[in-house]
Amino acid sequence: MQNKQAKTIFSQYWVLLAGFFSSAAFAHVKWFANTDASETPKPIGDVLTQPAFVGLFLLSVACIYTFFLVDRWALRKGVLATLDNRMKSFDAPSIHVMRICGAVFFLSLATWFWVHGSGFYITPELKTSESWIPWLHLVMGLCALSRRTAFITGLGIVLLYALSIEHYGLYHLIDYMIFLGIGFFFVASASSNVKIRKWAFIILFASTGLTLTWAAIEKFAYPQWTFALLNANPGMRMGMDSLTYMTLAGFVEFNITFILLGAASMIGRLVALGLQSVFILAIFKFGIVDAIGHLMIIAILFVLFVRGPTDARDMLVLRDKSLFTEAYFMTGLYYLAIVSMFFAYYGFHILYYGH
């Protein structure tokens, strides 16, 4: 019976990893359910000894090794290399995409406040009733459209992030590190210095990766937060129990994010496009709140597809080593990343809340 269940889990994993999985895996549960970050997370020992965890971890390692074997082979063989190199020059269009989406995002926040009488700082979960906040959103949205004033939008994001920390706590806001990256991007991308603009993309992509991997660990630590949503929509679970599904979703999210951070060939762009499609499809299930909340991450994934990774990615490419050594190296980094994020998630929680 256990072998049959394991085979079912593994087969579902491959389906999810290919991108054809329920939108609930990437819906931000905190926007649709009552959650409390101060709540004690599931003991890490219970997470690691869960029957499905070990098998799925080993399978995720195999997936990472296989992907980077193919990715580095494609890089060395120059698969679509000409197209990849041409697209790397799309810095300016990518910046325009971010500014336009930033303008739509903050103007949407202002409109939401004026229509509903209350709104949120930077995401649907971080609610506020301060009457001056939508006016700040309005200014930030308009300033995002111009290179000369984009830095005001960036500084405004930092201010809203600080206000959110004051009301919701520092640990809670680690979940939204991506906005610090976006704020830095709006400030740095306005520079005429090529190196500074390069750092704008590096920080943007890194903060996105940290946010998504943090959210993946959250699925292991607080799987119960999503149970009500899954029970109300049983088709999302695809025949699995809720706990197994959340464990699976955590590994898939971590896997895809690590691939986005480490891929060096054109394949990485396609993964970014596929993940962007998942976030877009989630909108049809979860509506306007999800559309507003995920707009900026959708924009970032589109930029990662169009512009591609920065040259900083080259530090992960071992051109003088064999393909198998490169794949082994990236698999080792994956193991290090997932262990580090577990330590960070649980360690910071203990430091901040004391339990």
- pLDDT value of position 10: 44
Q: How many CB atoms lie within 10 A of CB 289?
A: 18
Query: Which residue(s) pair with 120 in the sheet?
Result: 127
- Give 39's DSSP letter: S
Is the model's pLDDT at 1 over the cut of 70?
no
CB 42 within 8 A of CB 137: no
Average of per-residue pLDDT values in the chain:
88
- pLDDT value of position 26: 57
Percent share of the chain, pLDDT over 90: 62
- pLDDT value of position 9: 45
**Residue matched to tokens 């706990």:** 243
Looking at 144-265, list the stretches that DSSP marks H as alpha helix, in order from N- to C-terminal side: 150-168, 170-174, 178-188, 194-221, 227-232, 242-262
pLDDT interval class at 14 (50, 70, 90): very low
**Residue matched to tokens 């082979």:** 73
Q: What is the pLDDT of residues 28-68, one digit of tens each?
A: 677 777 788 889 999 999 999 988 999 999 999 999 999 99
Query: Which residue(s) pair with 119 in the sheet?
Result: 128
d(CA 34, CA 38): 12
Burial of 306 (0-12, 13-18, 19+ CB in 10 A): middle
Nearest residue to 276 (alpha-carbon basis) of 298, 295, 292: 298
H or E element: which one contains 269?
Answer: helix 266-286
Residue type, 237: R
Nearest residue to 334 (alpha-carbon basis) of 249, 261, 267: 261
Residue type, 269: R
Task: Dig out the tokens for 59 from the structure.
Answer: 């399978």
- pLDDT value of position 210: 95
Nearest residue to 30 (alpha-carbon basis) of 159, 168, 170: 168
CB 9 within 8 A of CB 196: no
Q: CA torsion 139→140→144→146, rounded to 10°?
A: 30
Residue 247 CA from chain centroid, whole number: 17
Q: What is the mean pLDDT of residues 279-292?
A: 82
Reported pTM:
0.90
Task: Dig out the tokens for 118 from the structure.
Answer: 């209350």
C-alpha separations of 49 from 42, 172, 210, 225, 317 in Å: 12, 27, 25, 20, 34
Q: What is the pLDDT of residues 225-261, one digit of tens each?
A: 988 888 887 777 777 888 999 999 999 999 999 999 9
